[in-house]
Structure 1
């Protein structure tokens, strides 16, 4: 959800594999109106909020929270995602690795190839495999 004006819910949608990105408004009571909502602010925190980035040379850096310096994660990636204390990445072979600490090692092979990896706010790992 991107916005709520008391009547309309504005959402953004994207399909990584086929696109396109779009904005859409749903009016309360429409057939497409969601039956349930997830309130992330109501969920218990899974720990620190990890922030990860890819440098231009594909090196992965991370830190917990918004203050403090960036720590090298000892690996390169083509994509990285984080949520709660967990971070996951795709290496250049599209293999998924994940870990729960900020040290420069400790990446665990998740035993699968993927085209996209996402870590939710509670640390749950989701992947999109090459066969969808």
Structure 2
């Protein structure tokens, strides 16, 4: 089975340094690496909602590289620092990106994330097959 790495905008700097693909097309699925809400310049927004939107926007960029949209997501796992403190805000932001039929979703409270100041990291699996 052929696999294809997905690099939105062709930017490979961080991906090459960390030896990962932001997304990987394998068969009829796209696997998107966990995305935090950092800005393009690497800074972390102070607002939880801004972090959540930025993380979803980065996921969207990977999906677009595969010719897909948010409606192609079949599974989502989100890892949270302070899950209970910002769950309602996260759900409100998430509602602006996912559509019916909604993807399977697991939200997990964690002790830490790789990026300093990150409140969430989101990974998704999307299908290339028509819904």
Which has a greater percent of strand? 1
TM-score by length of 1: 0.25
Instruction: Indicate the structure whose relative CO is greater, using CA pairs within 8 Å and at least 6 residues apart.
Output: 2
Greater Rg, structure 1 or structure 2?
Answer: 1
Which has a greater percent of helix? 2
TM-score by length of 2: 0.26
